[in-house]
Structure 1
Amino acid sequence: MTTLKDLIAQKEALENQITQLRHTELAAAIAQVKALVQEHGLTVEDVFGGVARRVKTAEKVTNKVAAKYRDPVTGNTWSGRGLAPKWLAGKNKADYLIA
């Protein structure tokens, strides 16, 4: 009858064998792929069908919206989008419309 210690030892031995065999097979596969790539003169685009790493394009361009409201005291403006500024809070917006 096998004991728990024996089974654990067998498990560890099998895991070591699996790890070693995996490394060996991966090394062989990588060598084979490199040989094929070199033999046929392939590029990353040929193998993976596109650019390996896409270069970031320009930042998203946002168009400015024309100001609709102006504070006559400070000259600050607001387009009417987003939160209303503090200088306009509690006041009639029509009084600050830009003509």
Structure 2
Amino acid sequence: MERIDLDAMERDELITLQKKVDKALKDYDARKRAEAIAAARDAAKEHGYALDDLLQGGSGAGGKAKGVPKYANPENPSDTWTGRGRKPKWLEERLAAGADQEEFLIKA
């Protein structure tokens, strides 16, 4: 590996080097992530599952597990939302009226 004398470099050279290192790190992380996903898919397949089914909490019988509700409508507490996917109409209306989403968090 080539040794770099950082003390001898000008500021613009250091900035260019920093940008190259940042890009190299992002590329490295992306490669490693892709390798890890491929290994996880292979492991899931060995056990007769698709990785996506395992990560989504699928039952294996075609059903999907529902998420735990995080938000509730104060006027009708049976109206809930997990915080994933599209916001329900009751929440959109209240946010448009100036409410803060945190007001609707379900207190544990």
TM-score with structure 1 setting the length: 0.45
Higher relative CO (Cα under 8 Å, sequence separation at least 6) belongs to 1
**Structure number having the greater strand percentage:** 2
Larger radius of gyration: 1
TM-score with structure 2 setting the length: 0.42
